[in-house]
Amino acid sequence: MAKSDQYFPNAELWDPHRWESMADPKDEEREKMDYGYGLVSTGADSTYLPFGAGRHRCIGEQFAYLQLSIVLIVTVREFRLRNEDGKEGVVATDYSVSGRFVPVMRFWRTFVQSLFSRPMEPARVKWERRNGCS
């Protein structure tokens, strides 16, 4: 569905902004229900459903988000991150086509689009453990 021109114009092109919601926030609030593990959306109007939707939505979604938050919090708390070369800011992001060949099920396929974005130039980050952290 994510690569269907029926739902997205130029579906084959990488466009991370296509997932931004254009819906009325009031409509989204009416489509939420608590099944006992937190408020979740019951609507399946979106074509982006990594954890499913409705009553049979993945019960691990909240746990996955919690784990991601913990990893980020601990990393920022325990380490001082800075650009290795002393530059300020973040390098530009490349969302373009990847030309790498990757073996998939014993066949070589070209990844038309990269699953992950990447920096346009090397982003060398220096990690220094903060004082008082073990």
Q: Report the binding-site residues.
A: 58
Q: How far apart are CA 59 and CA 88, in angstroms?
A: 40
Annotated binding residues for heme, written as ranges, equal: 58
Is the separation of the CB atoms in 58 and 52 below 8 Å?
yes
Q: From residue 42, how far is each of 25, 30, 52, 56 by CA, in Å?
A: 14, 9, 10, 9
The β-bridge partners of 102 are 109
